[in-house]
Structure 1
Amino acid sequence: MTPPNPLAALQTSPWAYPALEAAHIAGIAVLFGSLLLFELRVLGLGRTIETGALARLALPVSVAGFALAALTGLTMFATQPQDLLPNPAFRLKMLLLMLAGANAGWFHARGSLVRADAIARVQALASAGLWLSVIVCGRAIAYV
Structure 2
Amino acid sequence: MNAPLAALQTHPWAFPALEAIHIAGIAVMLGNLVLFELRLFGLGAALPIRALARLALPLAVAGFVAIVASGLLMFASQTGELLTNPAFRLKMLLLVVAGCNAVWFHARGSLGRAESPETGPDPLGRLLGALSLALWLGVLACGRAIAYV
- Distance between the aligned counterparts of 2:4 and 2:68, measured in 1? 18
Match of 2:78 in 1: 80
- Distance between the aligned counterparts of 2:55 and 2:32, measured in 1? 9
- Paired residues in the alignment total 142
- 2:102 alignment partner, one of 101, 104, 122: 104
Higher relative contact order (Cα pairs below 8 Å, separated by 6+ residues): 1
- Distance between the aligned counterparts of 2:2 and 2:134, measured in 1? 41
Match of 1:120 in 2: 125
User: 1:37 is aligned with what amino acid?
Assistant: L
**Unmatched runs of 5 consecutive residues or more in structure 1:** none
The 5 Å alignment of 1:23-34 reads 23-34=21-32
- Distance between the aligned counterparts of 2:41 and 2:96, measured in 1? 23
Any idea what SS the aligned residue of 2:45 has?
A: coil
Match of 2:63 in 1: 65
**Unmatched runs of 5 consecutive residues or more in structure 2:** 115-121
- Distance between the aligned counterparts of 1:6 and 1:119, measured in 2? 45
User: 1:100 is aligned with what amino acid?
Assistant: A
Q: Which runs of 4+ in 1 moved over 3 A?
A: none
Match of 1:9 in 2: 7
Superposed CA deviations along residues 99-130 of structure 1, whole A, max 9, x for unmatched, are 11101000000000011200011011001110
- Distance between the aligned counterparts of 1:4 and 1:24, measured in 2? 21
Match of 1:141 in 2: 146
CA RMSD between the two structures: 1.1
Q: TM-score, length-normalised on structure 1? A: 0.96
- Distance between the aligned counterparts of 1:17 and 1:112, measured in 2? 39
Q: CA deviation at 1:7?
A: 0.4
Any idea what SS the aligned residue of 1:35 has?
A: helix
Q: TM-score, length-normalised on structure 2? A: 0.93
Superposed CA deviations along residues 28-85 of structure 1, whole A, max 9, x for unmatched, are 1100000000000001100000010000001110110000000000000000100000
- 1:20 alignment partner, one of 18, 25, 49: 18
